[in-house]
Structure 1
Amino acid sequence: MVHKTCSNSLAVKTSHVLPPDTNAHGTLFGGKLMAHIDDVAAIAAVRHARKPVVTASTDSVDFLEPVKEGNSICVEAFVTWTHKTSMEVFVKAVTEDLLTGERKVSATAFLTFVAVDDNGRPVPVPPIEPETEYEKQLHEGAKQRADHRRQRRGQSRQFAQLFGTDYPWNRTEK
């Protein structure tokens, strides 16, 4: 399979933050920003795989700066690492005060996507070839992040098994 560069998958989306997008503090709802992040990251993953994708995980989304009403939010994403059927996507969100031009990184995140066929089964994805020092740095740390994701997923499965589908007040302790 032919290697692809990180820049081949770059996806960018800029949106104006309007009153319906904001909370009582006049800042962008965190969930709204997370939706932008998932959307743009998915586009980057599809561009890399040229296959449909599903979100497998979202690492912590770190909200670094508030995004105020009237500002813009620009979300950038690209594939940093691949395994057999999965892709790690790095996302950076930048807020801009459109009147002053001041820009700040408002959030960063890593998401993992899996490429799937028409039946929803995982399919191989092309390897990634980082070019810039920035891309190489992200690529070098990806294996460690993937190992951490696997451990976290195992813990999530344990919680799911332990707590099941009933609410605690509907369960009888054994």
Structure 2
Amino acid sequence: MAGGVSAPVTVRVQADDFDAAAEAARLTEGRADAGAVVSFVGLCRDEGGELSALELEHYPGMAEAEIGRICRIAIERFSLLGVTAIHRVGKIAPGANIVLVVAAAPHRHAAFDGASFVMDYLKTSAPFWKKEHFADGRDGGWVDAKESDDRAREKWA
């Protein structure tokens, strides 16, 4: 049932990499009612060659609960058939995966909007912290929240 309680939500916070195609296939396995699947993969940038790694930490238990809450809101709001959200933690090298959001829906607009909604809220509401490590050995410190992320989330209000 679209947007119903039976719509699966998968949330994982993990150090290991993920396979976006396998996660999308898992979300839609055995479903003939899905007309669209939208996947977003966020990658670690090298910031013009200056960054050697991004270190991500989270509040265990609370991060997963908040992401799950966001996914369930998206399911109801956009009549999604299911959502998968995976966020990595630990030191991540430039070019490596950081975050995955997969949304399945009967129609493309709902899948696009659902995935975008989850990502915008995940960036601003889930308790994650990022620390930059530079190629020249400098410790860049903890990264402040961005106003642009807050503005992106506001469009859903």
Q: Which has the higher contact order (CA 8 A, sep 6+)?
A: 2
Q: Same fold (TM over 0.5)?
A: no
Return the TM-score normalized by structure 2: 0.30
TM-score (norm 1): 0.28
The structure with the larger Rg is 1
